[in-house]
Structure 1
């Protein structure tokens, strides 16, 4: 194999068709949301009463009036066809973590040899894909195929374009014939309603109107790697598993710290610009792009949106990045750890709560009233995260994310909250009963001697914290780059709803005893912080000292692997929590636990068998070929020494392969959780043994014999 030719091809084998980039005015005025059926666009196409009925559904949660479905469907079809769409699909999020779609044509024969374009209200509201073909965790038997997708009017319809056409995508939920959720979207919508129902009563105590609605808002940063397409298809491990199962560290990685925020290569910048234009057309408000820490790693970040829309947009963003990269001779890798020895990729979820009046409930304000609210809701988050560490860890569980969590690049598996020095001081002063102003500058007075002032900026940031307050939001940094954000946000919404509801009951009791609002809030915040301050930590989350303190002194959970975490999903407290808020039933929760185990097993099983195949059919033959060359090269000291080293490494690889082959064949049991434990405890260590031997060989075998593109090539050739 001529690797010099590979490098040249990878660096040069791309072309960009010359195209005039839109001006900023065109992006704002013409391009943004061009392929989205916005409410304003729909308002112009249906009657005022019908639009009012639809708005009541969207804004007040009223049941959708089926009588307006035909009118909306006609407007939707007309709008889509005007933009070139020939087909439509219910676009949903099954329990695979990806999205699903089945396209149907607008064109229907009319019986006299001609065709017409049709799309009815019935087709808009409901479709019927095969439910048994998706993971159901036992909710559907293989022979029970019936399942339904149903239109989610809270998320706008949009158009996906391809080289010679377009498709209308209608965001939908997915449920079984018995009404149980088979998707990630339904529990997310339920959790948003639970949060609204829990938060609005306390907002009324703080003076909000009875018509106020509350939603969770999310901005999810997306990290990813780009490698030359030339290399991707020469790596069976990348093609099959999304990560490199072999590869020794290159002489240069990220140790020079010169990649983060560095100059973006023209090829990559062209890709980014192309992708951003498509995302703008889909109404996705991407704001930031930059190089990340590892070579070949980048990030894109949108601004805040309503939680369910943000979840939809995250899935679309990943799809657009993957598809667009191919146009530039690149492949976009979303895996959490595609390369060993350099930073992996996460998806930091910036989570907050907001009202329909545009108020951010985690924004420190200018008045005592606003800051009473702020402290109350911050205290609720402390309580929620402390009491439900297990659920937050389960929400980011997965075989791929296990490679990233706890490494010196991502937050540890131990959940803690970083408040920043100033906000930590606020809570400490509250707990001790101190009033007045702390020594820090730039604080906002609460106008009460009971409560200390609030900082506008909460101090420095802590990159080792899995859950950090960052000024007007909490950043959940443990979410993996390939994961859907729907379940993590579902968990956050639900646990905070639970905490707010409990604290609201306490607040009402104090007010009924005649306490003033500031005194009552002060008591609640003080007591909540005292009860849950163990979850607050501002130091180095990577240090061995913190791990020891967290487990032994604070009693925090350290669920190191996903298997350790998944078993807690169906704990009694979690069954009660999700059941009380109507987010997930006991059967739905049990199904999700089964699916998490099953996906974990299948992921590692595929990796184990791929490791075996590549090592047996590519790496070991390369070593043997090189040994033959060395045997024919004469008897010099250099040859003899090299031959001995290669022979020893090849024998090591052969022995490790035999062990891996045995573990791949032994499934560990019949149940999903038994198989998952087996691959974690036996297959992963056996894979590591094979890799160590193979990576040793990579440093010894002549380049012309080595069958796989190396890290040196993949990470740096752009």
Structure 2
């Protein structure tokens, strides 16, 4: 039996592997590069590259690749062999520093949003030494950034690293003004990953699942999640074997896969890691999604990462547990035991509250996708309206501070006006509110709006940047006060911020109609779909924010808006084409054949003098919606051919014309499915996929 401790991270070029393969002096320099962000000295680049190659080849690697995250949202790689010709029929294994540090993949076919023209194919990948290289499938994977010839970021990772720098700079400045000797902060994230598993043979019979990731047709199963019997239930042998292989693969790659269990919906599961630095967490979540899908194939299964593969049951999200700590190991979102630490906690807390309130639009932008639109607000995920849940105790403390009242907690500890006696707040002092988009859960914030397929870089880039902005504003305000005046100034700032931004705090049921009315009366934004949301990316205040903190240039932001709007339209257009194909090629022919059988039965009975009211009613129940489906289908096919003048127009067209018509076609087709015999229905139904898939 394998012992995890002995092989964990064995396929990662970790610090221990570096220590073994690098000369001691070079190893020390590499630690400085990794931990302190120092630039890799050119004179040691060849030494590091050669050591990395030797280590990888000892692991069986024959190739290397610069592994990057373009604006497709998934990863990209181009493999090169470790060979250099030495003669007509001979080679040596070689890998140089210049090959490690920079690559030149063809950038012409990646989304750029206008940052470069199609004929400008040159793009660069640059090694990111803060994320460890690893070996997978006989290839050395080198995490890299991806940029255009002029240096514009063409990926999701470069802005994330920039945002980490921005938050680090702002937080260190603010905390040191307050008298804390802090050198740097580390942002940590733990993304909880939900997914579905279904049988591979059934998947192959559903073109909609194969092409779009979700079912475009399908009536409700006879049993859904009503009994709450799937959640945390006993894991079937086939799934358990799958999970064991997933864990082993992830552990070899240094991914801290910790928790796994059944989720709410049938065939739905979750895997959650231990928290790690956000850059590493981002890369490891991409690895996790890849491994989940790859290993499923070994077990005759398919892993579905779409946010809503099945209508009528819960979809899949990815809860983003976000916090940051100092170089001393102090979590800034965990109250301390001293008044000084508690004031630091409160200033951090209100900075985040202010950030979420002022940049609701950006947080909604960060999770806006065609797939996630089906999930948000569906009684399985937070609503599309942003709010913060703090729990009763913290909410009461902030209310007391705002009013200048004393606060007495459950064990009679008073909170004086000066905040000097803030009572200890236990890690589990807050309950969990699954309807809250942004919930404080003891020592971190859980951003619950992310869809399961999303790359977590964008939500965390935005979180880091907006909090950096508020901390910068706080530092600007506080730096002019003397040491004697500072404490009172901080308390005034905390009180003022609570008063101005308390509208974003809500502890109730986010699903209730009453909350929607109240939220709108508070002036909170309701951005219902992706087409409506994404144009806020380039609002003037947001362009200024990102440029100020050197996270995105205005051109990079406009490009991202264009890319994401275009992607939204294209996803829905592909769904519309798939719906048309399945109706024309599979569903309608099967329905016509079944109608023919019914008509034959009716005619046979009629010629024998027997009435057939049941068959006639069944035929009527099929043919009536069928006529409407045919008309709608013709209209859908006309709409698919329509051209658009720009990305915004196309996205709005998809949201307001294509999707409603597709929803109407689906509802009618599902009615027909309910009246057609199972043997005559041409594709696996929900009962097949959700209950006959994984046993």
Give the TM-score of the pair, scaled to structure 2. Answer: 0.96
Find the counterpart in structure 1 of residue 389 from structure 2. 418
Q: CA deviation at 1:40?
A: 2.2
1:630 aligns with 2:598: yes
Is the 1:226–1:297 contact (alpha carbons within 8 Å) kept by the matching residues of 2?
A: yes
- 1:701 and 1:45 map into 2 onto residues whose CA distance is 66
Is residue 59 from structure 1 mapped to residue 35 from structure 2 by the alignment?
A: yes
Q: 1:449 to 1:403 in 2, by over 3 A?
A: closer
Partner SS, residue 32 of structure 2: helix
In the aligned structure 2, how far is the partner of 1:113 from the partner of 1:27?
43
Equivalent of residue 398 in structure 1, options 348, 360, 369: 369
Asked if the contact 2:572–2:659 (Cα under 8 Å) also holds between the matched residues in 1, the reply is yes
State the alpha-carbon separation in 1 of the partners of residues 648 and 424 from structure 2. Answer: 47
Q: 1:683 aligns with which of 638, 658, 662?
A: 658
Provide the alpha-carbon RMSD of the alignment.
1.6
Distance in 2 separating the partners of 1:449 and 1:347: 36
Structure 1 Cα separation of the partners of residues 527 and 378 of structure 2 = 14
1:489 aligns with 2:465: no
Question: Could you say which residue in structure 1 is the equivalent of 2:165?
Answer: 193
Check whether the contact 1:225–1:296 (CA below 8 A) recurs between aligned residues: yes
Whether the 8 Å CA contact 1:368–1:448 is kept in 2: the answer is no
Query: SS where residue 260 of structure 2 aligns?
Result: strand
Pair 1:452-2:422 in alignment: yes
Q: Does 1:83 align with 2:51?
A: no
Q: Retained in 1: the 8 A contact 2:113–2:559?
A: yes
Which residue of the other structure, out of 259, 263, 279, is the alignment partner of 1:308? 279
Matched ranges for 1:509-548 at <5 A: 509-511=480-482, 514-517=484-487, 519-548=488-517
Distance 1:509 1:649 in 2: 72
User: Where does 1:105-144 land on structure 2 (aligned, <5 Å)?
Assistant: 105-144=81-120
| 2:47 is equivalent to residue 71 of structure 1 | yes
**Equivalent residue number for residue 172 of structure 1:** 144
Match of 1:376 in 2: 347
Q: Give the Å deviation of 1:284.
A: 0.5
Name the structure 2 match of 1:6: none
- Equivalents in 1 of 2:492, 2:481: separation in Å? 9
**Residue 668 of structure 2 is aligned to residue 700 of structure 1:** no
* Mapping 1:158-557, distance limit 5 Å: 158-161=134-137, 166-209=138-181, 212-435=183-406, 437-441=407-411, 450=420, 452-456=422-426, 457-511=428-482, 514-517=484-487, 519-551=488-520, 553-557=521-525
CA contact (8 A) 2:438 2:448 kept: yes
The answer on whether the counterparts of 2:64 and 2:142 sit within 8 Å (CA) in structure 1 is yes
Deviations for 1:236-274, whole angstroms, at most 9, x for unmatched residues? 000000000000001210111111111111111110111
Does the 8 Å CA contact 1:366/1:444 hold for their aligned counterparts? no
Shift of 1:206: 4.1
For 1:320 and 1:207, the matched residues in 2 are separated by: 46
Secondary structure of 1:651's counterpart equals helix
Partner secondary structure for residue 461 of structure 1: coil
C-alpha separation in 1, matches of 2:87 and 2:179: 63
1:433 positional shift: 0.9
Q: Give distance in 2, aligned partners of 1:114 and 1:617.
A: 55
Count residues with an aligned counterpart: 684
- Is residue 612 from structure 1 mapped to residue 580 from structure 2 by the alignment? yes
1:96-111 superposed matches below 5 A = 96-111=72-87
Measured after TM superposition, the shift of residue 112 of structure 1 is 4.6
Q: Displacement of 1:320 after TM fit?
A: 0.2
What's the CA shift for 1:660? 1.2
Question: What is the CA-CA distance between 1:209 and the residue it aligns to?
Answer: 3.0
> How far has the Cα of 1:46 moved from its partner?
2.0
Q: Does the 8 A contact of 1:446 with 1:454 survive in 2?
A: no
Secondary structure, aligned partner of 1:322: helix
The question of 1:713 aligning with 2:688 is answered: yes
Taking the aligned partners of 2:23 and 2:499, their CA distance within structure 1 comes to: 56
Match status 1:671 vs 2:646 = yes
8 Å contact kept, 2:361–2:533: yes
The answer for unaligned runs of 5 or more in structure 2 is 606-611
Give 1:400 deviation, angstroms. 0.7
Distance 1:706 1:423, change over 3 A: same
Mapped partners of 1:262, 1:460: distance in 2: 23
CA contact (8 A) 1:137 1:592 kept: yes
Give, in whole Å, the separation in 1 of the partners of 2:410 and 2:158: 45
Taking a change above 3 Å as real, the CA distance of residues 46 and 614 of structure 1, as seen in their structure-2 partners, is same
Q: Given that residues 660 and 690 in structure 1 are in contact (C-alpha distance below 8 angstroms), is that contact kept between their aligned partners in structure 2?
A: no
Cα contact 1:379–1:525 (8 A) shared by 2: yes
5+ long unaligned stretches in structure 1:
1-20
Q: Check the 8 A contact 1:220/1:301 in 2, yes or no.
A: yes
1:506 Cα deviation from its structure 2 partner:
2.1
Instruction: Calculate the TM-score normalised by the size of structure 1.
Output: 0.93
Superposed displacement of residue 680, structure 1: 1.0
- Aligned residue in 2 for 1:11: none
Deviation by residue 1:71-90 (Cα, 9 ceiling, x = unmatched): 10011000000011111000
Deviation track 1:516-575 (CA, whole Å, cap 9, x = no partner) reads 53x333222111111100000000111111111111x21000001111111111111111
Per-residue CA shift, 1:451-482, capped at 9, x if unaligned?
53242133211100000000000000001100
* Alpha-carbon distance, 1:609 to partner: 0.5
Question: 1:446 and 1:151, CA in 2 relative to 1: closer, same or farther beyond 3 A?
Answer: farther
Shift of the alpha carbon at 1:688?
1.0
Q: Indicate if the aligned counterparts of 2:8 and 2:253 stay in contact, CA closer than 8 A.
A: yes
